[in-house]
Amino acid sequence: PRSAVRILLPMVVDLAEIVATRALIERLAKEMGNEEKIELGVMIETPSAAVLADQLAQEADFFSVGTNDLTQYTLCMDRTNSALASRVDGFHPAVLRLIALTAQGASKHAKWLGVCGAMASDPLAVPVLIGLGVRELSVSPAVIPEIKALIRKISLADCQSAAQTALQQTSAEAVRASIKARWPWLAAL
């Protein structure tokens, strides 16, 4: 069961940050007479956090991949710059590989993994995210029915196969093409 209080740390880059934050939280909770465990999660937004997910999962209680920031920092492109915004693409194989590393680290230590950001609400991304090991998506309220219906139509085995195919592609366009080839009906969503 989840604790009543959960804290999610943004922009984490290494294990020392989690250890120091947990020590501070535990000290403050003790001073306040709170004995309930406070869950401490990590936003996976930096490439270093994704690469070190296995280490971070030893100390963190859960992960949430922030796909917007992770994509921006992985591709070294400012998503607010109109000249670059179209190239900031979460389907880029490097971004997907970092999400895969995060999922592997979380799974190894039996930690919860969710995804937020634009990819979580993108019907083309959902099967790949599920195939990589994501088990919760934070989606825009307007697309909840569409995403739920999509998930009911696909199998975990197909998602895992699609994710492995996506990880081998050389561009975001090739990733999208591989997903559309597997599920042509997704292209219409």
> Tens of pLDDT along 110-165?
999 999 999 999 999 999 999 999 999 999 999 999 999 999 999 999 999 999 99
Give 55's Cβ-side CA count (13 Å radius): 13
- What region does 114 belong to: left with phi over 0, alpha with psi -120 to 50, or beta? beta
Give the C-alpha separation, 16 to 44, whole Å.
Answer: 15
What is the per-residue pLDDT for 3?
Answer: 66
Edge to edge, the sheet with strand 39-44 lists 6-9, 39-44, 62-66, 112-116, 136-137
Token pair listed for 55: 């280490």
- The phi, psi pair for 26, rounded to 5°, reads -65, -40
Q: What is the mean pLDDT of residues 70-80?
A: 88
Mean of the per-residue pLDDT values of the chain: 94
Whole-structure pTM value: 0.93
Whether residue 109 is predicted with pLDDT greater than 70 in this model: the reply is yes
Whether residue 47 is predicted with pLDDT greater than 90 in this model: the reply is yes
Q: In terms of Cα–Cα distance, which of 159, 170, 171 is closest to 133?
A: 159
What is the per-residue pLDDT for 37?
Answer: 87
The helix-helix angle for 156-167 and 125-132 (nearest 10°) equals 100
With a CB cutoff of 8 Å and minimum separation 6, the contacts of 144 are none
Token pair listed for 1: 């069961």
What is the per-residue pLDDT for 148?
Answer: 96
Q: Is 7 helix (H, G, I), strand (E, B) or coil?
A: strand
